[in-house]
């Protein structure tokens, strides 16, 4: 990784740690620079301001680990498609770095209007919209009952999002996440039984 990119990522990592600990307002550019071990002015070689750092963090959160290529072909696998999506969601939920990012996002959603707008748009455009398309394909293939695919997608993703939040809440208090480790897969089984023909 080139030095410029490496420093940029160190700034993002430091900002994630500080925002998770002190909130967005408490994580000043000065504190971020001190944590990285660079001068405050050096941050401006990489980012215009603190909000741009937050924007980069949010983009990393919204990057879906689930491939969107060949959606039609993959959706025809029915339950297997939903299982793959849930497992990808699970991997992100239990990844310590992504869990920290998620925690930052949850904290800031209540305080930052631009972040709320981005979250709602991205959440719908990426995950819910993608699952909705896949469910519509499954309906056309006669695999599942006909219903509003957007509503069904929300019903599928909401428990996954809640379980991801549950993982974060347990980790904040250093509690075991083992009891909920299988929730993602169990959800797919339960959901599939309710929609399959």
pLDDT surpassing 90 at residue 105:
no
Q: How far apart are CA 101 and CA 124, in angstroms?
A: 19
Q: What is the mean predicted confidence (pLDDT) over 171-175?
A: 91
pLDDT surpassing 80 at residue 84:
yes
The per-residue pLDDT for 80 is: 96
* CATH number given to 3-54: 1.10.10.60
pLDDT single digits (tens) 16-28: 888 878 878 889 9
Q: How far apart are CA 71 and CA 76, in angstroms?
A: 9
The per-residue pLDDT for 10 is: 94
Going by pLDDT thresholds of 50, 70 and 90, the confidence category of residue 112 is confident
Going by pLDDT thresholds of 50, 70 and 90, the confidence category of residue 131 is very high
Going by pLDDT thresholds of 50, 70 and 90, the confidence category of residue 64 is low
pLDDT surpassing 90 at residue 29:
yes
The per-residue pLDDT for 66 is: 65
Dihedral over alpha carbons 71, 76, 80, 86 (to 10 degrees)? 40
Could you tell me the residue ranges of all domains in the chain? Answer: 3-54, 63-195
pLDDT surpassing 80 at residue 122:
no
Q: How far apart are CA 54 and CA 50, in angstroms?
A: 6
Tell me the whole-structure pTM to 2 decimals.
0.78
Q: What is the mean predicted confidence (pLDDT) over 150-161?
A: 95
Q: How far apart are CA 182 and CA 186, in angstroms?
A: 6
Q: How far apart are CA 28 and CA 130, in angstroms?
A: 37
The per-residue pLDDT for 55 is: 80
Q: What is the mean predicted confidence (pLDDT) over 105-127?
A: 79
Most confident stretch, 17-21, 117-121, 183-187: 183-187
pLDDT surpassing 70 at residue 62:
no
pLDDT surpassing 60 at residue 2:
no
CATH topology of domain 63-195: Tetracycline Repressor; domain 2 (1.10.357)
């Amino acid at each position: 990784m080139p030095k410029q990119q490496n420093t940029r990522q160190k700034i993002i990592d430091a900002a994630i740690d500080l925002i998770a600990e002190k909130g967005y307002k408490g994580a000043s550019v000065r504190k971020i620079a001190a944590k990285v071990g660079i001068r405050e002015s050096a941050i401006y070689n990489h980012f215009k301001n603190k909000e741009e750092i937050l924007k980069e963090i949010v983009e990393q959160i919204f990057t879906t680990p689930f491939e969107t290529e060949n959606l039609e072909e993959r959706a025809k696998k029915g339950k297997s498609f939903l299982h793959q999506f849930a497992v990808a969601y699970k991997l992100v939920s239990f990844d310590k770095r992504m869990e920290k990012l998620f925690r930052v996002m949850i904290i800031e959603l209540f305080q930052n209007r631009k972040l709320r707008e981005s979250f709602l748009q991205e959440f719908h455009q990426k995950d819910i919209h993608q699952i909705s398309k896949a469910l519509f394909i499954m309906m056309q293939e006669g695999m599942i009952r006909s219903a509003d695919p957007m509503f069904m997608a929300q019903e599928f993703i909401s428990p996954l999002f809640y379980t991801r939040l549950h993982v974060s809440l347990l980790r904040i208090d250093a509690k075991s996440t083992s009891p909920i480790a299988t929730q993602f897969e169990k959800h797919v089984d339960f959901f599939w039984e309710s929609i399959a023909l």
